[in-house]
């Protein structure tokens, strides 16, 4: 996957902007009508996604520390020589299997498609657990699970990962309802940071502080830039 290297300040702006875009989409979203099929709690789904992003980050960090990336070229990648590591596939397996086992009817779309060819390492001690429960709202949203899609980038910044530039590595998960992003998680395993936002419901505590201290006009400028880059 093509990535852009950012400074720490740039990362902060990027993360805030991504979640502001989610808020923008949510503001134009119409209320849900009659619910059909199995209904699930978005609060529970978001909680599960945060846990899985941090668990996947633990594996990514562990593999790097053990110098066992097993880097090779991805078949069918967007770039001519797009790298792929065991950490990409291991993170993919943790997130996708974790979501589909907890929510069997949930549609999950991941950037990766292969599964690891060998048993995952015992990485549990490398997992960072953020204290996010206190930031979750008491309110909840219940929606038909078949109306949801989860988009996963199990390891964003694989090229940087292979070069040891681990501060640019992240795990990204987006919760989409009726083609509208309503929540997102960005976990940076080597910085022990987890940023998340849930539409107008809540933001992670450190992200909330960053949003409060940033001028609205600068956020809109970065949003336009991000939309242009990703089209």
Q: Which CATH number fits the domain that encloses residue 105?
A: 3.30.540.10
Please check the confidence at residue 222 and state whether its pLDDT lies above 90.
Answer: no
164: domain range? 8-27+35-230
SS3 98: helix
What total of structural domains would you count in the chain? 1
Judge whether 2 lies within some domain. no
Among candidate residues 53, 107, 62, the one with its CA nearest the CA of residue 85: 62
CA separation for the pair 99, 148 (Å, rounded): 12
Provide the pLDDT for residue 141.
93
Q: Known binder of ligand: residue 153? A: yes
Q: What is the pLDDT of residues 117-140, one digit of tens each?
A: 666 666 777 788 888 888 888 889
SS3 27: helix
Rounded to a whole number of angstroms, the CA Rg of the chain reads: 17
Judge whether 156 lies within some domain. yes
| Strand-pair category, 170-177 with 148-156 | antiparallel
CA separation for the pair 170, 153 (Å, rounded): 9
pTM for the full model?
A: 0.76
Q: Known binder of ligand: residue 88? A: no
Q: Which residues contact 186 (CB under 8 A, 6 or more apart)?
A: 15, 18, 170, 171, 172, 194, 195, 196
Residue ranges of the alpha helices (H) in the chain?
8-27, 42-65, 86-102, 158-162, 205-212, 216-230
Judge whether 77 lies within some domain. yes
Judge whether 3 lies within some domain. no
Q: What percent of the chain has pLDDT over 90?
A: 45
Q: What is the pLDDT of residues 67-106, one digit of tens each?
A: 889 999 887 655 567 899 999 999 999 999 999 999 999 9
| Burial of residue 138, with CB atoms counted within 10 A of its CB: 0-12 exposed, 13-18 middle, 19 or more buried | exposed
Provide the pLDDT for residue 206.
74
CA separation for the pair 132, 150 (Å, rounded): 20
Q: What is the pLDDT of residues 18-69, one digit of tens each?
A: 655 555 544 444 444 344 568 999 999 999 999 999 999 999 999 999 888 9
Judge whether 146 lies within some domain. yes
CA separation for the pair 81, 195 (Å, rounded): 30
Average pLDDT, the chain: 79
């Amino acid at each position: 996957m093509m990535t852009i290297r950012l400074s720490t300040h740039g990362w902060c702006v990027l993360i805030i902007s991504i979640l502001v875009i989610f808020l923008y989409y949510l503001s134009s979203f119409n209320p849900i009508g009659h619910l059909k099929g199995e209904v699930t709690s978005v609060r529970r789904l978001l909680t599960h996604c945060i846990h899985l992003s941090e668990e996947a980050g633990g594996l990514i960090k562990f593999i790097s520390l053990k110098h066992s990336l097993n880097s090779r070229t991805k078949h069918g990648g967007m770039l001519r020589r797009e790298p792929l590591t065991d950490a990409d596939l291991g993170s993919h397996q943790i997130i996708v299997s974790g979501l589909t086992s907890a929510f069997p009817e949930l549609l999950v779309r991941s950037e990766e498609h292969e599964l690891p060819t060998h048993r995952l390492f015992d990485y549990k001690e490398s997992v960072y657990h953020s204290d996010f429960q206190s930031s979750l709202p008491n309110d909840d949203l219940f929606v038909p699970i078949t109306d949801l899609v989860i988009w996963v980038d199990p390891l964003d910044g694989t090229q940087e990962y292979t070069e040891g530039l681990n501060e640019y590595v992240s795990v990204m998960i987006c919760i989409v309802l009726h083609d509208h992003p309503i929540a997102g998680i960005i976990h940076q395993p080597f910085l022990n940071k987890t940023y998340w936002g849930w539409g107008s419901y809540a933001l992670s505590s450190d992200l909330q502080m960053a949003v409060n201290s940033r001028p609205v006009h600068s956020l809109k400028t970065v949003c336009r830039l991000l939309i242009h880059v990703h089209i």
